[in-house]
Amino acid sequence: MKNKAIGIFDSGIGGTSIWQEIALALPNEDTIYLADSKYAPYGNRSRDEIISLSIKNTKKLIELDCKIIVVACNTATTNAIKILREQFDIPFIGIEPAIKPAAINSKTQKIGILATKGTLSSELFAKTSGLYTDATEVIEVVGTGLVDLIEKDKIDTPEMVDLLTSYTQPMVEKNIDYLVLGCSHYPYLIPILKKILPDNIVIIDSGEAVARQTKTVLQRNKVLNTNLNKGTYTFFTNSSVNTLTKILKKSNQLIKSQFLDF
């Protein structure tokens, strides 16, 4: 069991930002990543569609013999993780927007969150954000179109700069001091956000927390890989192999991805 891989899935290539943190925190673990880009974005889909896509991806990772599944997608986590945990006998790690550290540390008591419609309208998000935001105003903005552009390999484009400027402007006007990235695709937008946002705004995402939690759960279940070799990394996409390989290059990883019909 210890030598089995950590399975990771996302609606597309964005969850590779979470994979990076996992590979950093758990260098001896093998990982298998599924980019469900054929069906991206999930953000505007119905809850039922998000659940059935998440079940499809889970079945594939179980078929590929994984020991744990990381749902590296806020939209899938907030809409489907409860059902996944009910239906499958494998540990799941989810990702949720990092509202808690932002709300606790905000001095202006105003924080911004950029996420998909599916995440912001989910019950789980309402519940989690309700726990920490009594004294803090949360300015929620749906990042319509951002995932599409990332999936089309159009990160460094004027179109992206325009969209991000229009989404963050209302938050800046409200004097936020924290911007929470509530979608695993968005860490790839940090270099652009840093250029357009005032310096005092701290940008946070949940990648490190997910990697920490993955390690904790592997330890708790006694399935941490004790092998001293570096882990092997397998990346599958049901859409463009080039786009997935290219985003991996952005994080200095020269890993080739493979096509898999799932």
Out of 34, 35, 40, 248, name the contact with ligand DGL by CB under 6 A. Answer: 40
Active-site residue, selected from the candidate residues 183, 197, 211, 244: 183
Paired with 68 in beta bridges are: 6
Catalytic residue list contains 73: yes
SS3 of 32, please?
Answer: strand
C-alpha distances out from residue 28 to 51, 83, 114, 131, Å: 31, 30, 33, 36
Instruction: By CB under 6 A, tell whether 13 contacts ligand DGL.
Output: no
Angle at 8 between CA 93 and CA 18, to 5 degrees: 80
- Cα distance between residue 3 and residue 237, in whole Å: 23
Q: Least CB distance from residue 162 to ligand DGL, whole Å?
A: 19
Are 55 and 26 within 8 A, CB to CB? no
Q: Which amino acid is at 241?
A: V
Instruction: Give me the least distance between CB of 119 and ligand DGL, in Å please.
Output: 6
Q: Could you say which of 8, 40, 73, 146 is catalytic? A: 73
Q: Cβ distance 68 to 89 under 8 Å?
A: no
Return the residue nearest ligand DGL (CB atom): 43
Question: Minimum CB separation from ligand DGL for residue 126, in Å?
Answer: 16
CA dihedral 160→192→107→184, nearest 10 degrees, is: 70
Stretch that binds ligand DGL, among 38-46, 128-136, 158-166, 242-250 (CB under 6 A): 38-46
Instruction: Compose the 91-130 pattern: x for residues touching ligand DGL by CB under 6 A, - for all others.
Output: -------------------------x--x-----------
Output the smallest distance, CB 1 to ligand DGL, in A: 28
Q: Give Dmax over CA atoms of the chain in angstroms.
A: 52
Which residue lies nearer to ligand DGL by CB, 40 or 223? Answer: 40
User: Does 29 sit near ligand DGL (CB under 6 A)?
Assistant: no
Chain residues binding ligand DGL by CB under 6 A are: 10-12, 14-15, 40-43, 73-75, 116, 119, 147, 183-185
